[in-house]
Structure 1
Amino acid sequence: MAESNPETAEVSGRKKDILCQPCLNKDNQTTKVAEKFCSTCDEFQCLDCSNVHYTHAFLRNHKLVNANEAKTKQGSFDMKGLDQCDQHREIVKFFCEDENQLCCSTCAIADHRKCHSVVEILKVAGRSTYRSSTLKVKLEEVREKANIIVNSFVSSKEKLDEDAKEIPVKIRRMRDEVMAMFAELEISVVKDIKLFQKETLEKLTIKQSQNEKYLADITKLLETIDNVYQNGSLVQQFIVEQKLKNDVNVLHKNVDAECQGLETVTVTFDFDETLKLPPLPVTDYVPGQLTLSFCLSEVAQTIVPVNKAMILSPVNSIDIKQKDDDEEEPLYTGIDFLPDGRLVAVDNKNKKFLVYDEKLEKVGSYQLSYYPYSVVAVSEDEVAITSSGALKLNILHVNKSNGITLDRTVKVTTEYDAICQKDDTYFVGGTSDHSTPIRMISSKGEEKDFSINFPNKSYPLGTSACTYIRSSDKVVLTDRYDHTVYIYDVKTNTRVVVKDDQIKEPRGVTVGPYDTILVCSIRTNSIVQISQTGQILSSNKIDMIYPRTICVSSDKSYLAIKNACIGKRKLKKFKILY
């Protein structure tokens, strides 16, 4: 049963002769007229039923008044026409169970003569054992949806305005970036040109010098040949021809090679063909596109929540028994799934951290130096562990081969019972014997409080647990001995209080499929599924005594439970079905 204001209570019924409600609940054929009203029991009672207040000691402090006085107070409530028949404008006094319809006296006679069950409203109202209307739960759900829709429209309008303003800024920024890019391009190209020019000029100078030497040698040889043919004898001319033949051949070969490899060196710079230049329109050669789109908002997932009742199908089960290296019978106070499907657990009694595969076969173990209490998977290969009595969080590394090492220790100032992950930076921790029941802890040990008006109550170790719903920014707190589950909305600083006969000593809690809440009910040996508005969706009996620790796999398809019954401790894994 969910309520937003648990202090509000109303007494039903509008009849001159008020009947005894305990008699009505017993379906007593001789129901008597009520003469007393107990404000503690919130019931009208006959003298026989009210006399139990004097025979039982624990009922003697209840407040009894005459029924007439209570009736007068009740009648002061203005029904504003809700108690009138829409057709005849008379006060409704009857209820037709055949047609599920309220009736005035005229309706009962004229329209429901053939119906078999037309009864007085007070008798029907007296059968109900619930003090909270289901209409309230539905209206709370509708209000939450309507608020989400309105906030979504406001957010969408603000986002549209921001986007419209950002586009000209983005274009100007792009223009500046392009100009900066061209400035950098100019510097880079000029630098490359100078380097290329220097290297090329050095090569050209060397080649030029070599060929100038060839010219000088050729000129000298030509002078010698001219002189000998002008002034020398035939013998002298023959000798010169023979002597210079080899030198001329070498020069001819070298110069011919230079001529074959002769090239002109130039340097140019051109844009790639993909960059089009004016006179084309700017939209043709400047990259960019204006996109108008409509997309489903992330909050739309919470506008129409899927509140399906789950069914648990057993997969594996193992008995937790004392082994040779255990000093005591193991007590797993914390369990969680790694993203790859392996299950991790902490044994409080034997100071151990354990790893199980998908078949619940133990594949890894690590001895701790302290008494662990809760564990949460941080990433693919990291877990965080709280300690009982020690002000610290230990971060362990678990590799794919189930090797376990201590990564780091985070010091804190508060003792934490439960722990879960809020986001990439913070954990959510349930405190032990602290004025604030739930706090945030960063990965570096920074601690801070939620902006929530929690009741002034501290919880000893083992009497509460907590979890966090990331999609809706809500924290959930269980109160074991008050048999209550609290759902706090961080954004609005409001809460939903969940009380129901199916929830007895709620302990472990986690976020299940579709962001519903799964709670271990110790005294009913069951797992209760609750919507975020406080509606009980399902209650699954578990074949184990005192279930107290629960976790769900990252894909929300498997669930694991550990109990705390001495000598009968088990670890069970279930497939979540619908």
Structure 2
Amino acid sequence: MATDEIASFCNICLARDQNKLAKEYCPQCEEALCGDCVHHHKISKSTKSHQTISLEKYNKLPSFIKQIKHNCEEHDCFLECYCKSHDSLCCKRCLISGHKECKETIFIEDFPTPSTGYHPVALHNIEKAVKDLDTNICFAIKDRKRNLTDLLEQKQKILEQIKKKRKEINTVLDNLEGVLIDKVSAIEKEYGRKIEEVIAKLEDEKKKVDEIIEDVDSVKMFASNLQIFMGTKTFQEKVLSNEMNVQKLYDNGNLNNFTMQCTFNDKMEGFIKEIKTFGDIEIDSREKHSSFSWTGDKSSQITKSTVSETLIENIHLMLERKFDICRSGLTGCAMSEAGNMLFLQAHANNLLRYGANGQFKSESRINSKYFQIGYDLTVIDSNTVFVSSGGYSPQQIYLMEIDSARPRQVFKLDDFCCGLSYQNELFICCSYYHGIKIYDRSHQQLTYNRTLNNAPSDVHDTYVTSNENFIFHSNWCDNSIVCYDFSGLVQWKYSDSLLRKPYGITLDSFSNIYVAGSESNNIVVISPDGKQGREVIGPTDGMVNPRAIYFDKNKSMLLIASYNGVAFLYNATYNI
């Protein structure tokens, strides 16, 4: 008898036409027992090994656990074994009749349970996975509520900006001001409603998680070996379903951070009567302030269908745009999430900003007191880059804003710095006198640093890039590309006549390495293991003396700057 709610009468006594209230339940016998029958049950030779539990506790088990049968329906024998080959439970007679050739059979009694002092690994993994799910949902709810607060604060800030700007002109613009205020309110309300809908979905998933947690606790305490063994599959399915629902919210952009910005009409300052708008309200939902962390059993987690690597033969580059920077000596380039491009002139104290369509926007000085500043760029986040000073004093690097090309912070170093890379709070640079140096940004003013073992001491005017595991050095001195781990152990070295005087170096999303061959007038892509290289852009494509290179992983765009002042923007595709 395995039902959602066990009857209150003893099954043994009912068979003898007696009505006695049941006190305990035996999952193996699938019978409710009164006090007298329990006593007999515990001393009987055939049933004394059975584990009984109180009726109240048994009724707390999930219904799918209680519905698991302990006896073979074909032979009416106790199910003692599990056949991995057939993924089925079997009794002794089943083993003889249908599983003689099966080599992977186990006894259910060998499956550890909480009653033996052990937690089944599968059940333990379920607990870890569901705790991860609960943590992620709570964090996501907290993040969405934070975004609601941010939107309200941004609304107030924008309203203040609008009022301030409004006071600089006269009352003729009252109507336009009202239109803009209504727009920011409507956008805040619209996207606030979207966030609240996501919160509601997340809270619904959390309720499901709480139910799983409660069920797991009761199974650990009261379920039999067989029930735990079989029940873990259902738990895994439930947790996987919850994880997929939550991850789907994340993948569909429901946790993207909504940010409002206000842009004013450029003609406002001139107070031209033909002004038709007071400004505009922009919403940015690309940035995520939250991410999910799954530390539980991998079998119960959501597996993303992503390609970890791709053959370099499958890479195709299509020219999107070619434009003239009209400045020679370009040695650094980068792109922002908004599509703005930065170009750096070597030792010219000059940072150039271009729009996504290649139009010139601004020119900024890096250091107002010095002249021969600048060599390379490395992207830090969505709107900031580090700029190296190169081989001229002072020995500094500069934190600059991409979308405004303005300096924000200056760090003093103990050596000149050329090629740059940034990874996990570690700032990697090619110095003039101490080889490749690694600075820890978590220490104030980059005071803690170390030299990468096995790297050459003379790496002036060379470039470097990195990912989470490796550092890739482009050395024009010996025409080589070397891959190090972060301890300095050399993983591989690439050198080929195909690539001469390599300078700029960058990585795509698959850790393929793109290198600018200055003397060979080409772009060469190298496989992550360093065993293969292929020219993807050459002299016949108009490539002459390329020096700086940057791969935008979000857009799969490759930006190239030649030393002669010509820039190329390519779209990268992968035929997988």
Does TM-score exceed 0.5, indicating one fold?
no
TM-score between both structures, scaled by the size of structure 1: 0.45
Question: Which of structures 1 and 2 has the bigger CA Rg?
Answer: 1
